[in-house]
């Protein structure tokens, strides 16, 4: 298993533009997910049978997840290899968003948006370190 990981890492090391593209793609996905809900507030309110202002709690919940998750994940995962951590963060992010899209009710939707927000800040911080490290 280490051979495939090592060869995959070497592939990104030989092609820094690919690594930058992958980091940017992750950032785009996270950034889009954060803001797209604002344009869907009326539809979400209708689907979950709540008012539009109540959907604002889902936006605040995601933001709270970002604030809680960034320092917590950074502290707990300080010894995890950055590449592995970035992959895990994107998986948690994807699962959280898929689960929130399938949430059966408003409270579960708000809670799942919080969980989806947890990896957001940590991803950007670690991705910035990885990108900066490419130019030493």
**Per-residue pLDDT tens over the stretch 21-61:** 888 888 888 888 888 888 999 999 999 999 999 999 999 99
* Mean pLDDT, residues 76-105 taken together: 92
What does the block give as tokens for 113? 């948006």
The DSSP line for 82-117 is HHHHHHHHHHHHHHHHHHHHT-SSHHHHHHHHHHHH
Listed by start position, the domains of the chain span 2-133
Q: For the full predicted model, state whether its pTM sits above 0.85.
A: no
Q: Is 79 left (phi over 0), alpha (psi -120 to 50) or beta?
A: alpha
């Amino acid at each position: 298993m280490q051979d495939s990981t090592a060869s995959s890492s070497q592939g990104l090391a030989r092609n820094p533009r690919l690594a930058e593209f992958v980091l940017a793609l992750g950032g785009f996905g996270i950034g889009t997910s954060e803001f797209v809900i604002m344009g869907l507030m009326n539809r979400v309110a209708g689907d979950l049978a709540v008012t539009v202002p109540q959907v604002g709690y889902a936006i605040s919940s995601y933001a709270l997840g970002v604030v809680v998750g960034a320092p917590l994940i950074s502290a707990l995962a300080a010894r995890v290899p950055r590449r592995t951590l970035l992959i895990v963060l994107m998986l948690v992010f994807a699962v959280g968003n898929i689960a929130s899209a399938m949430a059966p009710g408003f409270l579960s939707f708000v809670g799942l948006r919080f969980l989806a927000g947890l990896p957001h800040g940590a991803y950007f911080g670690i991705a910035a370190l990885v990108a900066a490290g490419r130019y030493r």
